[in-house]
Amino acid sequence: MSLTRRDVLVAGCAGGTALASTFFWPGSVRAQDEAVQLVERLTGQAPTVSDRLHLVMPAVFPTGYTVPMDLDIESPMTEDDHVRRIRVFAPQNPLLQVASFNFVPQRSVARVSTRIRLAEPQYVVAVAEMSDGTLLMTKTWVDVATNGCI
């Protein structure tokens, strides 16, 4: 099957945008929307996708039992502007909550590393609750070769 850019644009105009975008790029608008909706359903509040959150995980990892995860949020951690907590979700795991990290302004830094279990290749989602009540989120695609949740 050969698809030209023109074909894609035509398909997009015909209403096939969602299909075309998932087909060409996994980091598509649709996947982003799904993650946003998931967070909204879990927290009851709409998150803002932010590049202040850095969720660093290997793109491909041989085992789902111990996947390294580094989280770093750009924040001055003052009384007025800090990260209260970060929640991490693995939406395709049998139990989707991974962890919740709680920080204290002036005392801890919004940066943490751990190792997590993933059942299948998926987007891992991190949500930061800021001191002003807003939710910031980001997500990272991780491809695991074996199920780590059995």
Binding site for another protein (CB under 8 A): 65-67, 90, 93-104, 106-109, 111-118, 148-150
Residue 30 near residue 20, CB atoms below 8 Å = no
* Smaller CB separation from another protein, 20 or 129: 129
Taking the least distance from each CB to another protein, the nearer of 29 and 109 is: 109
Per-residue burial over 35-60, b = 16 or more CB atoms within 10 Å of its CB, e = otherwise: bbebbeebeeeebeeeeebebebeee
Q: How far is the CB of 63 from another protein (least distance, A)?
A: 10
Of 103 and 138, CB closest to another protein: 103
Give me the least distance between CB of 55 and another protein, in Å please. Answer: 14
How many CB atoms sit inside 10 A of residue 4's CB?
8
In angstroms, give the least distance from the CB of 88 to another protein.
Answer: 8
Q: How far is the CB of 16 from another protein (least distance, A)?
A: 35
Minimum separation from the CB atom of position 60 to another protein (A): 18
Q: Do strands 122-130 and 135-144 pair parallel, antiparallel, or not at all (unpaired)?
A: antiparallel
**Helix 29-43 with 17-24: angle, nearest 10 deg:** 100
Q: Report whether 87 contacts 126 (CB < 8 A).
A: yes
Q: Specify the DSSP element, H or E, that contains 120.
A: none
Nearer to another protein, 31 or 99 (CB): 99
Nearest CB to another protein, comparing residues 22 and 63 = 63
